[in-house]
Amino acid sequence: MQSGDRQEPAFGVYVHWPFCLSKCPYCDFNSHVSHVPVDEARFARALAAEVATIAARIGGRTVSTIFFGGGTPSLMQPATVGSILEAIARHWAIAPDVEVTLEANPTSVEATRFRGFRSAGVNRVSLGVQALDDAALKALGRLHSAQEALQAVALARSIFERFSFDLIYARPGQTPQAWAAELKCALGQAGEHLSLYQLTIEQNTPFAVLHGAGKLVLPDDKKARALYDTTQTVCAGAGLPAYEISNHARPGAECRHNLIYWRAQEYAGIGPGAHGRLEIAAERRATATEREPRSWLARVEALGHGVVSDEPLTREQVADEFLLMGLRLTEGIDAASYARLAGRPLDARRLALLQERGAVETTPSGRLRLTLAGFPVLDAVVADLAA
């Protein structure tokens, strides 16, 4: 569904839970291992305070999606999740078809909480399966086996209306044949949505150190491209084509919350290190909160919010984000909307060159999108068009 089709403008609430049981060596998300028990009630009060502060600032909205991300939100007690959802509902109207997603790690301990999450109001889970191969899971530093992950997937299927899981591919030594087999197995267990990420080396992670020392060798560009092509063919063949560079769904089953980011719509960011984009007095503002959980907590308890940066975006920045995020989607962007936001159309000469090279295409309805060949070079295309 296009954004214009909805009755109410989309508005999402992102809630960040920053704790994990252990830190995976590839991950640079804002996640922390707490050596003392986390005072969930205190964090929940602080998250509710941030909701109240943002609501007082932006006024009435109808919440179309809520997303608990992390970190590992499945480490929360269901009652904590419930109290955060209640706080959101106290301040904003909730759409009758609200999508409420929670990211979960697929360990048996967390799976025991699934029913509680459902009763609290979660209607979609996204599980970090990462691989269906025990050796690969070990190399990724995961705390679960493939079998345990698949059991969690089966339980999620029986409890939630919608579920998705994540896999990481382009792992060291992975061949297209092995990946195709793993992916087919995953598709056999999948619902209507899968997130498939190419392993990236993030700065300041243990994987970056190993990679720098030549002890972790990733597939080169050609091999990575073959793995990417395998992903597209196998998923499209199973009825889950890509709708975003790393996300696949049966048409209609896309993650509505993430679509809000990619369509450059409005969302509030709650919790440590959360980002938001708020429309206030005809301005689009970018907000970010303190990343360190206990500093964030202290800030919220003193000020009612953990915001450390809150800036209006210039017309150019708004247009660049619209382009950068929208071209991740296979639906692409409406070129006329870009021109309206930027105050000028896209550069026709650059566009023609990119079209000639087969990286982008224009649909009959005037939408601009990347071709399948253009997706792997998304960053270069955006840099070219936004320049």
Ligand X SMILES: C[S@@+](CC[C@H](N)C(=O)[O-])C[C@H]1O[C@@H](n2cnc3c(N)ncnc32)[C@H](O)[C@@H]1O
Which residues would be at the binding site for ligand SF4 (CB under 6 A)? 20, 23-24, 27, 29, 31, 70-72, 105, 128
User: Least Å distance between CB 147 and ligand SF4?
Assistant: 18
**Binding status of residue 121 toward ligand X by CB under 6 A:** no
**Binding status of residue 101 toward ligand X by CB under 6 A:** no
User: Least Å distance between CB 128 and ligand SF4?
Assistant: 5
Positions in 178-197 near ligand X (CB under 6 A): 197
Options 22, 112, 147, 200; binder of ligand X; rule CB under 6 A: 200
Stretches 26-34, 181-189, 255-263, 379-387: which one binds ligand X (CB under 6 A)? 26-34
User: Least Å distance between CB 119 and ligand SF4?
Assistant: 24
Site of tokens 């639906």: 331
**Binding status of residue 26 toward ligand X by CB under 6 A:** yes
Measuring CA to CA, how many Å separate 321 from each of 235, 261, 263, 265, 328?
A: 28, 10, 9, 11, 11
Residue nearest to ligand X according to CB distances in the complex:
128
Nearer to ligand X, 112 or 362 (CB): 112
**Binding status of residue 202 toward ligand X by CB under 6 A:** yes
Stretches 10-18, 22-30, 229-237, 300-308: which one binds ligand X (CB under 6 A)? 22-30
Nearer to ligand SF4, 85 or 199 (CB): 199
Nearer to ligand SF4, 24 or 360 (CB): 24
**Binding status of residue 22 toward ligand X by CB under 6 A:** no
Spatial CA neighbour of 298 closest among 290, 286, 309, 287: 290
Residue 293, contacted partner among ligand X, ligand SF4, none, CB below 5-8 A by kind: none
Pairing state of beta strands 124-130 and 162-169? parallel
Whether residue 271 contacts residue 15, with contact meaning beta carbons closer than 8 Å, is answered with: yes
Residue 166, contacted partner among ligand SF4, ligand X, none, CB below 5-8 A by kind: ligand X
Spatial CA neighbour of 292 closest among 111, 93, 41, 71: 71
Residue 23, contacted partner among ligand SF4, ligand X, none, CB below 5-8 A by kind: ligand SF4
Stretches 51-59, 64-72, 148-156, 346-354: which one binds ligand X (CB under 6 A)? 64-72
Give the span between the Cα atoms of 314 and 298, in whole angstroms: 31
**Binding status of residue 69 toward ligand X by CB under 6 A:** yes
**Binding status of residue 130 toward ligand X by CB under 6 A:** yes
Measuring CA to CA, how many Å separate 323 from each of 100, 256, 261, 327?
A: 27, 19, 12, 6
Report the chain's C-alpha Rg in angstroms: 21
Nearer to ligand SF4, 70 or 374 (CB): 70
Whether residue 65 contacts residue 13, with contact meaning beta carbons closer than 8 Å, is answered with: yes
**Phi/psi of residue 165, nearest 5 degrees:** -140, 160
Residue 199, contacted partner among ligand X, ligand SF4, none, CB below 5-8 A by kind: ligand X
What are all long-range contacts of 365-369, with beta carbons under 8 Å and residues at least 24 apart?
366/334, 366/335, 366/336, 367/331, 367/332, 367/333, 367/334, 367/335, 368/327, 368/332, 368/333, 368/335, 368/338, 369/327, 369/329, 369/330, 369/331, 369/332, 369/333
User: Least Å distance between CB 128 and ligand X?
Assistant: 2
Give the span between the Cα atoms of 8 and 1, in whole angstroms: 13
Give the span between the Cα atoms of 87 and 80, in whole angstroms: 11
Nearer to ligand X, 7 or 204 (CB): 204
What DSSP element (H or E) covers 100?
Answer: strand 93-104
Whether residue 287 contacts residue 278, with contact meaning beta carbons closer than 8 Å, is answered with: yes
Interface residues toward ligand X, by CB under 6 A? 26-27, 29, 69-70, 72, 103, 105, 128, 130, 166, 168, 197, 199-200, 202
